[in-house]
Structure 1
Amino acid sequence: MDKRLAQQTITDLFDNPFDRERYQHFLNNLLNRYEPRNGHYTGNYIPDAYKQHIKQYWRIGKYQDPEGDELDLLVVQVKSLSKLERARSALRNFAVTRLKQFEKEASLIAFYAEDDQGADWRFSFIKIEHEAYQDDIASAIHGSRDISPSLDKKGKVKLRQKLTPAKRYSYLVGVHENSHTASKQLLPLLEMDYADPRIEEIEAAFSIEKVTGEFFEQYKALFQNLAEHLKSQPLFSKSDEEARDQQVSRFAKKLLGQVVFLYFLQKKGWLGVDKDKPWGTGSKRFMRDRFDQVLKEGGDYYHDFLQYLFYEALADERKGQEDPGYYTRFDCRVPFLNGGLFEPDYDWQKEHIDLPNSLFHNTEKNKNGDVGTGILNVFDRYNFTIKEDEPLEKEVAVDPEMLGKVFENMLEVTERKSKGAFYTPREIVHYMCQESLIHYLDNRLNSYASTPELAEPQAELFGSPGGQQSLEDVEEIKAPKADLETLIRKGHLFIENDQAALLALERIEKGEQKQTKKEIALPESVRQHAKAIDEALADIKVCDPAIGSGAFPVGLLHEIVNARLALAPHSGNSQSAYELKRHAIAESIYGVDIDASAIDIARLRLWLSLIVDEEDYDTIEALPNLDYKIVRGDSLVGIDGIGKVDDIFNPKFTLISELENEKQNFFSTTNHNTKIDLSKKITDLIHQITNGKEAFDFKIYFSEVWHQKGGFDVVIGNPPYVSHDRISKDNKEVYKAVFDSYEPFADIYCYFIEKSIFLLNSDGVVSLITSNSYLRAKYGAPLRKTISNNCSIVNLINVDDYQLFRTAIVNTAIIVAQLRELLRPAIVASGTIEPSLDFINFVKLTGFSCQQRLFGEKPWRLISRDLIELLAEIENGNVTLEDLNTKIRLGLATGNNEAFVIDQSKREALIKADPKSAEIIKPVLRGRDIQRYYYKPPEKYILLTRNEIDVKREYSAIFRYLDSLGERFKNRGARGKNWTNLRACSFFDDFREPKIIWIELSDTGRFALCEEEIYLLNSAYFLIPPPRIIPRYLLSILNSSVIHFYLIHTAETSGMGTSRWFNIHVREFPIHIARNDIQQIIGCVVDYCSLSTLKELKLYAAYFDQLIDGLVYELYFHDEIKAANKEILPHLGELSPITDGMTEEEKLATIRREFDRLYDPRHPVRNNLETLDSVAVVRTIREALKR
């Protein structure tokens, strides 16, 4: 189908009420072909559980993709539009029931409502996922030496066939929706006549990430255009440039946030409601309708409409009117919102800000060819949904959670670098929020006896009851942790089922029916203690000390409300979702951020989350004031002495009590003048308590938390990523005085971890995602000590070589810890996430138990018992390079490579001008020149102008060249005694010695022997082999799989799939010192390998490399290899050495002769090499290195 016709097909279908003929025509072109069916199901053919939602449905066909996977095609008519919008779980579960009935795993379904004749409908893709089990991949990932993962025909990890709740992805389509997104993502499939689409490609067409990325880029362009325009406005030009840019940035972000907030409001039908009509009946295009009206009247959209909408209609309470919702100027109903989002930051009635209509609507084309680059153009282009994101229910539209991601990413590059803020992916937020609540409830409800930790437990990943009871003597378990996990992770999925089951049981008791197939899904222990669990959730206090866009507090808000709704049939709590959310925001949620824009965004996200659940259309409740719940401040630096002066919480100290009363009053007040008065009182009280100090302090601003609970129940978040070299000297001095974890090279997240620990109460849980460097890095030692001295590790999830943050190259770790002593082992998951696994399955598949005593000041080895024993075996009886006093050096930092590193032509020119120049022009290697067992001939040279050289007097040509580089070069910071000299270096002479050289970042060992006077730049290292070891033999050890395996389990990775072969790691390598004759033999094979590699004899080089690796395995694991009858060394025979006196032809002839002998299929060396992985230890190492 050509592009124009494809676009027309989409428009005809998706911009109109649902039409079955058009839908089938669309499917015919989307799928190219499908097998028609004529199944029509109604009445008793609809399962009882769904009769209240569904009137009828049609099975119109099935489709088989090129890989044999099948897709069902359905049309479902629901009974009302409210069912379409609100009964999402029921409709998804119905689809799963049908998939099971027709034995399919995926379907495309059109859902439309009877009462609006399909005006607004859903086009959904539903797919059943499969749950992963730890024994499915066992332990190719975490250490079993005998089991390898099974893969399916596509090379993906094969998961056991236990069904989990399906995921549904939906486009919002119809009369009141825009088909831009659907067109963008489905168009390529419609155009693809040459091949039938795979189900994976159909699923990809429902990608939310694509929508997020595109929406963000256009949102960013709006911000940049708006900010650029605002810079010239008189209101902002009064300030200096830095202050002006900050003011402009905040105003632009706030304006866009206000407008996008109203797009969600108009989606609810709350704007432009006719007089005497109920809320919810307003125009879904209110913002655009008013623009068209203003334009028609020749007015100014911002001055004549938006300012009045923002700062009067939405911000002013109209209590005296008969209808408080009616706004005379617009002759329609507009709700009073309160909360601060629409409070002006300037005197809008006097100060003039010129925002021309073209900023809101124009006909310019963007880079994608879409017409219109104005604010309304962009927002009108996308579908907005008021439904919050759920793991199983996703609408391909702009939802409140996506908005949070956009807001977080809106931090400019300069802000991102200075404040270190990065957005946490949705599934990570879900996981961390759920884990926090599970462990909080476990601590709150259950008491465990102080029984010593067992020697080597293997607990279930999430603590099954059996697993827990085998680890500790139970004193009182009200609800086992596994049951609490079921509540938090799956409870919201059980609500409809449990309500139906309870109703059926009630009918049975009354004799109205005899039996039921419905069973209550919520665990019995949870039902028995539902009231206590509900009270614990109502009572929880949580804080994010670096709140950013509010992803974690909003995530916890959802989890708390979902759990309480799941408990409701059993707890007796009849509060609505809106009431539960408002309670949680008032009583549970706290947050801090140093960035004012982040505070604006986080508050907006909480307000938006509240509004989406407001269903009382008689009276819309005003938004709460969050000024003293979500606070701007520096989380790390409090007020001196406050944390130690506990008498401020003494009942006699009335100022704190008065402060708490005024904050409570402020939260719910709606009167503008009262709000101003209360704010002044609160500020005055804080100044009295702090003796006038302005700094933020948790115990003052959130004093009620310490009064009631002695600290937070949960501290959660993603602390900023600011490296130590960007922390100011003054701040470092403060941190040194405040934090036990202080270390000069520690990044700022380390201090956030310590701060978070000490914000907890005695039963509190901390859950943070940070860089994983502190787990092993030297600078992490004080932090590791602080954590282990004060906490028990509950979960530790370490992710290597996979970027959870798409805009930051950083390996991450999630730590969940608690202050209460935990005598059972921690659950640790560590490894690289495979593309075919989601995060929760990664945790399940790589998880193992790790004893608490292993977490101390020394680097944390997050590996299984098998691997710990294997590393110990590698270390046992061997010595480190540091033990051997090995000199290990980093290459030269010239201070200016462009000047001091020259090419061949420049070298020749300098020598021609002054032959003496050759004395200090030396060959130099860069990291990229160093390969495994060899290095490329140098193509670059270094001007070795050491400090003792008077360049001007001794080397005139070189002086003239350096002098020509100008004043900037001469005034550089990194220089020697004179501007012509290199930086001082104490080991220049070491470069004349035979040395082993290597590159710092590499996916495998890239060590080579260099026996010439060749210099290195600082992207490479070198070492001088110690006297007891033949250099070529040491080279074989360093390039071996054994040492690579040792490195990846003892050092951090780069985050880009490569290892960091730093000095601090290399010097700790355990070196096996063999007898001299064995060293000579292995050194001989190294010569074969090096020369073969240099001469590009690839087969020879690969085989000799494999042979060297096998010999090193034999050195380290002699007993295992001998027991398996896989020895290599005894079968080598006498090797012919390569000598300096040989010609090239003689050397190559020797290599060919030895290769032919040892590569013979009948030779035991080749046989043993090819079957070496039958030895368990070899197989374990090789499997680990594959990842």
Structure 2
Amino acid sequence: MQSTTDIAEALKAFGGDPQRAAPLASFLGFQPVLSPQDLLAGPLRGGLKWFFAQRTDYFGVKELYRVGSYHAGPSSVGLWVAVLSDWGLRSTDRDRPRRRIARAIVEQVQDARAMVILVPNELQRPHVKEAEFVLPRSAAAVSKGVDTGTAVSSVRALVDLESPNRFHRDLLRELALWPGASLLEVSQHWQKVFSVERVTTRFYQEYMRVRDRMAKALLAHNKGHSVVSKLTDEEAKAWATRQLGRMLFLWFLQEKRWLGGPGGQGYRDYLVRLWHKRHQAPVQEYYRGLLVPLFFEGMATGTPSQSVRELLSYTPYLNGGLFRKNRLEDAVDDGGEVSIPDEVFDPDTDEDPPRTVLGLLSRYRFTVRESTPDDQSVDPDPELLGRVFENLYQGDARHDTGTYYTPREIVHFMCRQALDGYLRDQTGVTQDTLDWLRKQAIEKEEGGQPLPRELEERLVSALELVRVCDPAVGSGAFLLGMMQEIILLRRGIEHSKREYIQDEEQLITDWKRHAIQYSLYGVDINPEAVEICQLRLWLSLVLDLPEPPADHPLPNLDFRIVAGDSLVDRVADITFKESWPVPGQLTMSLEAQRHITDLEREMARYRQEFDATHRDPARLRKLRDRIAAAQAEIIRLQLEEALASAEGEARRARTASAGRRAEARADLVRGILSELARRDFALVQKPFLWPVAFPDILQEGRSGSGFDIVLANPPYIRQERLDARDQESYRQAFPEVFAGTADILVFFYSRALQILRPGGWLAFITSNKYMRAAYGRDIRAYLAQAAEIHRILDFGDLPLFETNGRSVASYPAVLIGKKDGAQQGHNLRVADLTCPIRRRLAERGLNVNSENVRWVLEDLGGLLEEAEVPEYPQVLLRRDGWVLEDPALVRLFHRLMEQGTPLGELVKGRIYRGVLTGLNEAFVIDQDKRDELIAEDPRSAELIKPWLRGRDIKRWRAEWAGQYIIAIQNSGDADAVHPWSKARSEAEARRMFHESYAAVHDHLSWFEGALRKRQDQGRFWWELRACTYYADFDRPKVIFNRFINKPTFAYDERGFFHNDACYFIVAPSPAIAAIVNSKVGWWLLSHLCTPLQNGYLQVFVQFLEPLPVPSIDKGLEGRLTALVKVLTNAPANPEAEAELEDLVGDAYGLSASERSNISHWINQRALAYGPTSEIDDGGNYAETQDPN
């Protein structure tokens, strides 16, 4: 493998000149084109030149060269250099040519794959020593092999040609092709190397090491500090994360040259320059001497002292809260200054992986451009900040908190769907017009007509007035996504009016500032997540500013993005005046009511002053604390009222029991008051009173009060894992959907509908389990009744999310709708994307992981065109379960469910789990041991039964492996007939056991110690656990694994016992085996059972019991029985299978088209999942993960 020095030399030799690209092409594995020609020169003859000549300026592309070729079998791969008419100052200046070139490469040239290098023109080249490496991608075109007309995406990296950083040298070295690679190998290799997810994971892991080192240094070098010496490891990490967050923010600012000089004349290596000045500081240490004054004076105030200004040079005043100390930092500062050794920051190291802060940051080139699904940067972008810090703050607790970062493709889709619905309702605009405006924003058509003035005004007004909330905001992905969509439409409106917008940067900044200040709201229970969200919003605003904001510092977000518990707005069953929805009449004294009104007015005044205060951090902190104190006081006053009420009830109680109940309630309220007094309410508001937090949106009693849009990815946790008091508050707040075992997504749905205004839009991504689970019955009914649902996308078992580089199975589904009862005959659009995405991955030979799934999602529009059911009647979303299929199949499912007899009823509930021994080593034996025990004592045969493992269960019959179980029934069972069944002591029972079955007794005695420790045992240690159905093992039965990915039900008449990984149905007829092994039986089960990863179903008793069994007369039963016997003896019998399918289909009354639809459904699943893993003896299968 070539060295990173070689690539640096090749880049320098190239210098952006297409005629000098040969060394670079060779390094990257291409055959160089010795005299590349400009393919845009010469006469216009159609093809590639015509593609650019559709605009007079050629879309900003001056010249286009093919400088390298590679043969991947019969296909060609090209290396291209595009010379731009104007390089521009920002990445956005290259958007139009980049998009056109990417589309030209995908649609117009013969190369099956290509890499493009964008370079400045020859006049700019001496001053601009950089090039943009672009990988055009089109998931649709690649998978179908045709021009689909869909947008082409790209991934880019901006490389310094004179002195490339370590990350870019490694990146280009890894991109190099090798001789003999196939086209598939080239595609997979480039996709892996240019993977944004891979870079994010790598950066996060490196950043986490540096953060942990800083935290350890804090503790190790400040042992005498009165506060630091008492910090936990987690608190030290939180402190370090806060410092690193500021440094990362400043690293983005220095990319804009805002630090070290006014008006964008600063330095892109400002923080490294400061490092080299550390010995000039009064305290000769990088952290104390330079970073502390930079954070808390240079950036936090508008008027730093003269000495600080001389030390730091120019620093802009940004306000916003990032450079205000949080409570942990205040506590640390109260104990005195802290010291962090310089070695934690040293930039002059080249360790791999990096161990210092500046060493890490210096090896990357950060881009100040926010990525979008179709335009991504492999260089760290602002979104990386959210992803990294969300990971850092959550760490190993992510599973407990159930938070997962939503992929940008899904964020983009959900935001656009909700915003478009809102705009259509508010303005009457058509979807075609909105789509056209977005195209205008990206690539304005020449000679296009502007919007009608009246429609433009309605759209602008609606975009300015929209109010959006994320009640589980995390690091702010949805709020950032919504802001991007708002800005995109506003750009489209402007571009529809004029060709060139001179002040576009300032316009975008103004639009963003307005959205941040007036449109975007968020709540999260994690205060660190709230800090991340605020940081990302500030950063997004800053990055579009042409120069530092002199007169308009960053907006305060303390009362827009809030730390609080979105679901808890009461305490257990104690409801407040401001609980949402607004409760009925509450008993409250006039004095308390007046006091609360005064507090609300006081808070309003404080908020106004807070918003108007910019250059006084101390005053801002005091105002924030006063507002938090007023909020806590409103809750305290109402709790005091509840306490007085409970004490009054205790005094008036006429019975002792009533008095005890009232006193218990009074004790509860006293405890809550005590807890409220101790807790820092400003840190996390709990209970969280929505009308108090957002009075401008949720005004009590106001008609139409509420948000216009609520969207979220709620935490993936079950509510029974939460505090009992919270569970009671859920019961009180969400009675229409409450279930004791529900995932809290149920309550987030209910809360969203509560805080939406009538006609407001909802966009959620959650687990899909509520669509079938028992706990979801009420939320299914509630959503179908209270919302007009417009779209549901189900991703099934696809790993859409990841954490720390690992794919996570969370069974996600997207729901888009609005707060209106559905009109009669309303249809929505539904799509199960599991099979289409799996098929596309299989076609490319790609693994099913989160990175590859997201790549396919770049063509979400194409996927929906392929898989979406466009007219799905909302009436089919029934309380008993949602089936997202073609409506004809859904109606068939409901018809079949209503005919025949449920299987559980037919077999009288006799569907049982296998035997749980508690110690297989003792009870499960092989043929040799059985023969040995029987030879020693022939009576042993009475206790030894044939035994099956999970892997032995096949379709139609079991393949016995010659194993046995010593089946000693619990003597406490009613039907047990052991000689020792009536023994009164263990000693007496053991003597009788030994006398009756000496060989078995002696064998089990070897394991006596372990057998005694089992939880699963009978009256005596040598017995199996209590069981009421031992006799049923000897009866004819159908055996199946609890996890299956195809109909593998075995019919047994030989009296097999089996382990608890399997279940069995006591079958009154072999026809039962025919039903469950049939196509229609499998199709029904696939909609009754819980789906798991890799196409498996969780076939538990409660899912089997409702399976409808059609009426079967004697003649049909006889024919099915005969066929089952044939297939049990010889399973590979297509003729018998076909006849059986016909007979079962007849019994269900299926038409030819219905049989064909079911067969097609099964075949599509088989194509999507392909070969799947085997069940192990414990009934487990590969990679089963469930965040719940």
TM-score, with length taken from structure 2: 0.79
Q: Aligned to 1:92, which of 98, 112, 121?
A: 98
**CA–CA distance in 2 between the matches of 1:980 and 1:355?**
64
Q: Aligned to 2:862, which of 841, 848, 855?
A: 841
Deviations 1:1086-1123 (A, max 9, x none): 33333335xxxxxx4566556644554455467639xx
Matches within 5 A, 1:713-1112: 713-740=708-735, 741-806=737-802, 807-823=807-823, 824-832=826-834, 833-835=836-838, 836=840, 837-838=856-857, 839-848=860-869, 849-871=871-893, 874=896, 877-892=899-914, 894=916, 896-897=918-919, 902-904=924-926, 924-937=947-960, 939=963, 941=965, 944=968, 946=970, 948=972, 953-954=989-990, 955=993, 957=1002, 960=1005, 963-965=1008-1010, 969=1013, 983-1026=1025-1068, 1030-1031=1069-1070, 1033-1092=1071-1130, 1100=1132, 1105=1137, 1108-1109=1140-1141, 1111-1112=1143-1144
**CA–CA distance in 2 between the matches of 1:238 and 1:921?**
70
CA-CA distance at 1:71 after TM superposition: 5.6
CA spacing shift, 1:853–1:900, aligned 2, 3 Å: farther
Supply the AA of the counterpart residue of 2:886. S
CA spacing shift, 1:834–1:942, aligned 2, 3 Å: farther
CA-CA distance at 1:536 after TM superposition: 1.0
Matches within 5 A, 1:689-700: 689-692=634-637, 694=681, 695-700=687-692
2:302 is matched with which residue?
Answer: 317
1:266 is matched with which residue?
Answer: 254
Supply the AA of the counterpart residue of 1:698. W
1:193 is matched with which residue?
Answer: 179
CA-CA distance at 1:924 after TM superposition: 4.4
Gaps of 5+ in 1: 133-153, 446-477, 502-517, 1094-1099, 1122-1171
1:117 is matched with which residue?
Answer: 126
Q: In 2, are the aligned partners of 1:50 and 1:90 still within 8 Å (CA)?
A: no
Supply the AA of the counterpart residue of 1:272. G
Q: In 2, are the aligned partners of 1:50 and 1:94 still within 8 Å (CA)?
A: no
3-state SS, counterpart of residue 887 of structure 1: coil
**CA–CA distance in 1 between the matches of 2:1093 and 2:454?**
47
Q: Aligned to 1:669, which of 609, 613, 619?
A: 613
Aligned residue-pair number: 1031
Identity across matched positions, percent? 25
Deviations 1:957-1009 (A, max 9, x none): 57755652399x36x5x666677765544333332322211012121011112
- C-alpha RMSD over aligned residues: 4.0
2:321 is matched with which residue?
Answer: 340
1:381 is matched with which residue?
Answer: 363
Q: 2:625 aligned with 1:587, yes or no?
A: no
**CA–CA distance in 1 between the matches of 2:227 and 2:313?**
39
**CA–CA distance in 2 between the matches of 1:1052 and 1:1113?**
24
Matches within 5 A, 1:385-400: 385-400=367-382
CA spacing shift, 1:940–1:185, aligned 2, 3 Å: farther
Q: 2:698 aligned with 1:710, yes or no?
A: no
Supply the AA of the counterpart residue of 1:121. E
Deviations 1:681-734 (A, max 9, x none): 312332343335652221111111123861111111100011244234333233
CA-CA distance at 1:761 after TM superposition: 0.8
**CA–CA distance in 2 between the matches of 1:667 and 1:1016?**
70
Q: Aligned to 2:538, which of 604, 607, 611?
A: 607
Q: Aligned to 1:300, which of 285, 298, 313?
A: 285
Deviations 1:99-147 (A, max 9, x none): 5676778653332334462644233335374869xxxxxxxxxxxxxxx
CA spacing shift, 1:1061–1:712, aligned 2, 3 Å: same
3-state SS, counterpart of residue 883 of structure 2: coil
Q: In 2, are the aligned partners of 1:1113 and 1:1178 still within 8 Å (CA)?
A: no
Supply the AA of the counterpart residue of 2:524. D
Q: 2:415 aligned with 1:433, yes or no?
A: yes
Q: Aligned to 2:491, which of 560, 565, 590?
A: 565
1:471 is matched with which residue?
Answer: none
3-state SS, counterpart of residue 336 of structure 1: coil
CA-CA distance at 1:1185 after TM superposition: 4.9
**CA–CA distance in 2 between the matches of 1:234 and 1:892?**
60
CA spacing shift, 1:549–1:1018, aligned 2, 3 Å: farther
**CA–CA distance in 2 between the matches of 1:719 and 1:611?**
29
CA-CA distance at 1:636 after TM superposition: 0.8
Matches within 5 A, 1:65-464: 65-66=71-72, 73-78=79-84, 81-83=87-89, 85-95=91-101, 99=105, 107-113=114-120, 114-115=123-124, 117=126, 119-125=128-134, 127=136, 129=138, 156-157=143-144, 161-174=147-160, 178-190=164-176, 192-195=178-181, 200-201=187-188, 203-204=190-191, 205-230=193-218, 244-273=232-261, 278-294=262-278, 299-318=284-303, 327-328=308-309, 330-344=311-325, 345-346=329-330, 347-348=332-333, 350-361=335-346, 370=352, 372-412=354-394, 414-445=396-427
CA-CA distance at 1:1042 after TM superposition: 1.8
CA spacing shift, 1:874–1:122, aligned 2, 3 Å: farther
Deviations 1:131-173 (A, max 9, x none): 69xxxxxxxxxxxxxxxxxxxxx9x4566x3423332322111
Q: In 2, are the aligned partners of 1:327 and 1:334 still within 8 Å (CA)?
A: no
Q: In 2, are the aligned partners of 1:43 and 1:56 still within 8 Å (CA)?
A: no
Deviations 1:439-495 (A, max 9, x none): 1112222xxxxxxxxxxxxxxxxxxxxxxxxxxxxxxxx3224433544x545324x
Q: In 2, are the aligned partners of 1:538 and 1:584 still within 8 Å (CA)?
A: yes
Q: In 2, are the aligned partners of 1:71 and 1:107 still within 8 Å (CA)?
A: yes
2:448 is matched with which residue?
Answer: 519
CA-CA distance at 1:329 after TM superposition: 5.1
Tell me which moved more, 239-248 or 871-880.
239-248
**CA–CA distance in 2 between the matches of 1:979 and 1:604?**
62
Supply the AA of the counterpart residue of 1:394. Q
**CA–CA distance in 2 between the matches of 1:863 and 1:383?**
47
CA spacing shift, 1:29–1:362, aligned 2, 3 Å: closer
CA spacing shift, 1:316–1:1050, aligned 2, 3 Å: same
**CA–CA distance in 2 between the matches of 1:1017 and 1:295?**
72
**CA–CA distance in 1 between the matches of 2:239 and 2:596?**
44
2:442 is matched with which residue?
Answer: 493
1:544 is matched with which residue?
Answer: 470
CA spacing shift, 1:538–1:899, aligned 2, 3 Å: farther
CA spacing shift, 1:852–1:237, aligned 2, 3 Å: farther
TM-score, with length taken from structure 1: 0.79
**CA–CA distance in 1 between the matches of 2:720 and 2:321?**
38
**CA–CA distance in 2 between the matches of 1:821 and 1:853?**
12
Supply the AA of the counterpart residue of 1:567. I
Q: In 2, are the aligned partners of 1:599 and 1:631 still within 8 Å (CA)?
A: yes
3-state SS, counterpart of residue 765 of structure 1: strand
Tell me which moved more, 292-301 or 1079-1088.
292-301
**CA–CA distance in 1 between the matches of 2:1011 and 2:109?**
78
CA-CA distance at 1:809 after TM superposition: 1.5
**CA–CA distance in 1 between the matches of 2:302 and 2:1025?**
70
Q: Aligned to 2:564, which of 607, 624, 633?
A: 633
**CA–CA distance in 1 between the matches of 2:1021 and 2:314?**
75
CA spacing shift, 1:869–1:682, aligned 2, 3 Å: closer
Matches within 5 A, 1:447-486: 478-486=428-436
Q: In 1, are the aligned partners of 2:944 and 2:967 still within 8 Å (CA)?
A: yes
Supply the AA of the counterpart residue of 1:1047. L
Tell me which moved more, 901-910 or 1071-1080.
901-910
3-state SS, counterpart of residue 417 of structure 1: helix
**CA–CA distance in 1 between the matches of 2:594 and 2:820?**
25
CA spacing shift, 1:978–1:789, aligned 2, 3 Å: farther
Q: In 2, are the aligned partners of 1:913 and 1:957 still within 8 Å (CA)?
A: no
CA spacing shift, 1:543–1:226, aligned 2, 3 Å: same
